[in-house]
A and B are shown apart, each in its own frame.
Chain A
Amino acid sequence: MKTSISDIIDRYGNDPSRLMDILLDIQEEIGYIPEEINQKIADQLGISKAELVETISFYHFFSNKPLGKYHVYLNNSVTAEMMGREKVKQTFEEEAGIKFGNVSGDGLIGLYDTSCIGMCDQEPAAIINGVIFKDLTPFRIKEMVKYMRQGMPVNEMCRQNYGDGNNSSDLVQAVVSNNIRLKGTVVWDQYSPGEGLQKAIAMKPAEVIEEIKKSNLRGRGGAGFPTGLKWEFCTKAMETERYIFCNADEGEPGTFKDRVILTELPRLVFEGMAIAAYAVGAKSGVLYIRYEYKYLRKHLENALEELRKENLLGKDIAGRKGFDFDIRIQYGAGAYVCGEESALIESAEGKRGEPRDRPPFPVDKGYKEKPTIVNNVETLAKVTKIMKKGSEWFLSLGTKESAGTKLMSISGDCRYPGVYEIEWGHSIYDILEMVGAEEVQAVQVGGPSGTLIGPNQLPRHLGYEDLGTGGALIIFHESRDLLKEVVMNYTEFFIEESCGSCSTCRNIPVLLKDKLQKILDGHGVVQDIDDLLDWSKPLKISRCGLGHTAANPIVTSIQNFRHLYEKRVLRDREFETGFNLADSVRESCEAAGRPANI
């Protein structure tokens, strides 16, 4: 071992609130987090072993067992399935001689499913030892497993060219593509670092907030909360130690625009954080970014370093006495719910990513119980541009209630998947035409937590007055089996990602899934469709948005595609459970070595 455990913990000042970093570093160093060292870690941090295990056990990418010298995390999102994941998965299993969820006997290869890696426009994709592989095919898998047996380092296995833009820079070197299909006038317009911030510090902090309020900018993370108002709330909090968080967790399947912004324009985002810091008087900021984007780490650190050199971060920023602000990068470890702002804060404090009860909201009591602003990557990028060009200009784009542009992550059955920056107000129909989608059966607007709409709703418009969205559109061709391929996958996603605190969110999606499976198996009756709708209702009392939306795939597909359900249910009876005695006793009879006498 090169670095000792205690050195790693020392590196973070023996601070238990930096547990995520400590665990990530230990896992990086040893390959996993052996149970034998738990006591040692806990002792050095002055926490109980139970507290430590609470955190470790929460995150998908932490493991207390060796993961395999090559650990493969293959995305299992809907788009991955649509683009041929099943064959890729089978080939992996055949070539490695193990099933997913296992490590080969010699400890060489570990195969794992994972929920979303932010690459829906280039699926099937996998993360192998932290390196992204995209557009996978059985041919490539056979090659790669051969290389693994030869002991080749993972980064040498990439036989594709590095991606466009900064993906091929020395600090990134990833095969990932940006797929920027449409450069809009806000984010992608010419950018020179510091201009937004200079404008801001020429104003009073309250004027900056006023300008953002006037621009009508609303949060781009999904909920659409007015950004200026959020900042104003923060300034009203009593405590003056305040924090700025940038939410780069981007866990909603089908969303990948924040990855592209951070690849191409990290400084635009960091500058937005500095403007927010100036406006509310914060001294520190945190970029909370998902583990899947670990390959961007050096690139992001470098962007911060450049900003420090240019005095756009650090002390007396841009020459303004007393304006001190710096940013650290906090990686997550695989949990969709950590995108929820209070869970994100918990996670950044080194704990399980369980959402907090609200109120108090983060603007009152956030990171370390201090007032905290959490904004999405795209929101902060826009802040910088609004400061530079003014709220009038921003208001001139988009619609009355939805000012400006939106970055859309578009994937699924279309010719040109990728990132599009468009003004609010366009119809889904026009967008589909632009992205080369034909014979569309359905569009998932906003990812699994959003809405599944059908052809008769394509004239609907993007915007808070009609279809508000965090920016994902996933397109499904007529030939897709919506219930089996889409609704089931999304429902399983929520089951996998629930933090488990609320009994509603922990249980109801499982019951819904079983009922949907019953319908898919041909045992459903009409009552089952109504049950699905009724049983979804109590989810609304869950603590966070994950629970609130976990039934959306089922509910919105029943609302808009009820005929697909009705086609599958039995018409000739009112009640049917599908229970089969012979099937259910098979295993136990086998184990006992007795005949099944039904």
Chain B
Amino acid sequence: MSKAIVATTSLAGCFGCHMSILDIDERILDLIQLVEFNKSPIDDIKTFTKQCDIGLIEGGCCNSENVHVLKDFRKHCNILISLGECAIMGGLPAMRNGIPIKECLREAYLTGPSVTANTEHIIPNDPELPMLLDKVYPCQEIVKIDYYLPGCPPTADLIWETLVALLKGTEINLPYEVIKFD
């Protein structure tokens, strides 16, 4: 059986979901028997080099770059999975969604109590920088997402079970402990 190709990325996330992928511990040895990583922080491949079977997305979209990366993933991955609360709902970054973006920027760069070094009073405006979106969008509000793995982060077991089920075409084993959160 040829190895399945997996890509992963972290958008507006904290990398906790990626840490959870690594939490599969020694099972990672089994995993690399089954898959080959393409674009992913795990192997540091920066651009897609081929079409992938599975894409794992951590984090929602808070800026234009996130949107481009997410759309790129949709194009290059046959199956796209939202990994964790941030990708599914926006998560902690979406706490800003109730506040108009102009107010957020003003607070962050001009008027906030911790702003001391910005003597020129500018909101970062280099055209090279990604542009902030008006709010943080969960992934499915930008592209079609095929599966959602809940949790903050989803447990290593859940990630493992999902990948194995997808790769082997078997039914996923979802014991209660894996999907309960309190």
Q: Which residues of A contact B40 (CB under 8 A)?
A: none
Mask, B117-131, CB within 8 Å of A = 1, is 000001111110001
Q: Which residues of B contact A575 (CB under 8 A)?
A: 144
B124 and A592 contacting across the interface, CB-CB below 8 Å = yes
Shortest A264–chain B CB gap in Å is 46
A595 and B133 contacting across the interface, CB-CB below 8 Å = no
Which residues 556-593 of A sit at the B interface, judged by CB distance below 8 A? 575, 577, 579, 581, 583-593
Shortest B118–chain A CB gap in Å is 13
A588 and B132 contacting across the interface, CB-CB below 8 Å = yes
A592 and B134 contacting across the interface, CB-CB below 8 Å = no
Q: Which residues of A contact B122 (CB under 8 A)?
A: 592
Shortest A508–chain B CB gap in Å is 13
* Of the residues B67, B123, B141, contact of A592 by C-beta under 8 Å: B123
Which residues 96-139 of B sit at the A interface, judged by CB distance below 8 A? 100-102, 105-106, 122-127, 131-135, 137
Query: In chain B, what residue has the closest Cβ to A574?
Result: B144
A585 and B131 contacting across the interface, CB-CB below 8 Å = yes
B125 and A596 contacting across the interface, CB-CB below 8 Å = no
Shortest A83–chain B CB gap in Å is 33
Q: Which residues of B contact A587 (CB under 8 A)?
A: 100-102, 134
A588 and B127 contacting across the interface, CB-CB below 8 Å = no
The reply to whether the CB of A594 lies closer than 8 angstroms to some CB of chain B is: yes
Shortest B137–chain A CB gap in Å is 7
Mask, A137-163, CB within 8 Å of B = 1, is 000000000000000000000000000
Shortest A404–chain B CB gap in Å is 48
Q: Which residues of A contact B137 (CB under 8 A)?
A: 579, 584
The reply to whether the CB of A597 lies closer than 8 angstroms to some CB of chain B is: yes
Q: List the count of A-B residue pairs having beta carbons below 8 Å apart.
A: 56
* Of the residues A585, A592, A596, contact of B105 by C-beta under 8 Å: A592
A577 and B105 contacting across the interface, CB-CB below 8 Å = no
Q: Which residues of A contact B124 (CB under 8 A)?
A: 592
A588 and B101 contacting across the interface, CB-CB below 8 Å = yes
Query: In chain A, what residue has the closest Cβ to B139?
Result: A577
B141 and A591 contacting across the interface, CB-CB below 8 Å = no
Among B67, B101, B106, B135, the most chain A Cβ lie within 10 Å of the Cβ of B101
Shortest A507–chain B CB gap in Å is 10
A71–B147 alpha-carbon span in the complex (Å): 51
Q: Which residues of A contact B64 (CB under 8 A)?
A: 581, 585, 598
The reply to whether the CB of B165 lies closer than 8 angstroms to some CB of chain A is: no
A591 and B131 contacting across the interface, CB-CB below 8 Å = no
B132 and A585 contacting across the interface, CB-CB below 8 Å = yes
Q: Which residues of A contact B131 (CB under 8 A)?
A: 585, 588-589, 594, 596-597
Among A579, A587, A592, the most chain B Cβ lie within 10 Å of the Cβ of A592
A596–B64 alpha-carbon span in the complex (Å): 10
Mask, A404-436, CB within 8 Å of B = 1, is 000000000000000000000000000000000
The 21 sampled A-B contact pairs (Cβ below 8 Å) are: A577-B141, A581-B64, A581-B67, A584-B135, A585-B133, A588-B105, A588-B131, A588-B132, A588-B134, A590-B102, A591-B102, A591-B105, A591-B123, A592-B123, A592-B125, A593-B125, A594-B125, A594-B126, A594-B127, A595-B127, A596-B131
Interface residues in chain B, defined as those with a beta carbon under 8 Å from any beta carbon in chain A: 64, 67, 100-102, 105-106, 122-127, 131-135, 137, 140-144
